Amino acid sequence: MSRVATETFAGKPVFIDEIKELESQRRVQESYLSKVEGSMAKGEIKEEIYNDLKRKYQSELQSVNDRLEPLYNEARALKTTLQREIERFEAERSATSASLEELTDLHSKALMPDADYKNQKRELDAKLRDFEKAIEKRKKTLEYLSFIQ
C-alpha cells in the first residue's frame, strides 16, 4: 500500500518534510555548482579541478532530483485525491442540506409527525456535521500541499 493511501487524512503528510529537506539539499548543490562555474569563469581554479567538482556536484544534484521526483508525484496524486474527495463531500453536503430543507418544509406544512421530523432532522444534521469534518480535514491536508504544482 502506498503512503498516499495510508497517510491521506492524517494531517501533514510525512513526505512533506522529506521534500523540504531534499529541496534544501538541492539548493546547496546548485549553489556549489554555481560557485565552481563562477570560479572557473574567473580563472580561479584549474580545469581539472573544475571538471572533478562539476561532475561531483552534478552527480549529487541528480541524486537529489531522482529522490525528489517520486515524492512530487506522490504529493500531486494526493492533492488530486483530496480535491476530488472535497468536491464529492461538498456535493453530498449540498444534497443533504436540500433534504433537510425539504424535511423542514414538510414538517412546517404539518405533513409529518414531530417524532419522525426530529429523528430524521437529527440524522441529517449528523450527516452534515460529518461532511463538514471530512471536508475540513482534507482542506487542512491540502494546505500542506499548496507548494505542489
Q: Across the 149 residues of the chain, what is the mean pLDDT of every consecutive 10-residue run?
A: 45 91 97 97 96 97 98 95 97 98 96 96 98 95 89
Amino acid 148: pLDDT? 85
Amino acid 10: pLDDT? 54
- Beta-strand ranges (E) seen in the chain are none
Amino acid 49: pLDDT? 96
- Reported as half-sphere exposure (CB side, CA atoms, 13 A), residue 128 has a value of 14
- Smallest Cα–Cα separation from 18: which of 57, 88, 92, 72? 72
Amino acid 111: pLDDT? 96
d(C-alpha 17, C-alpha 31), whole Å:
21
User: CB 86: neighbour CB atoms within 10 A?
Assistant: 17
pTM of this structure: 0.76
d(C-alpha 108, C-alpha 89), whole Å:
28
| Letter string b/e over residues 101-125, b meaning 16 or more CB atoms within 10 A of that residue's CB | eebeeebeeeebeeeebeebeeebe
Amino acid 126: pLDDT? 98
d(C-alpha 130, C-alpha 89), whole Å:
9
User: For residues 81 and 148, is the Cβ–Cβ distance under 8 A?
Assistant: no
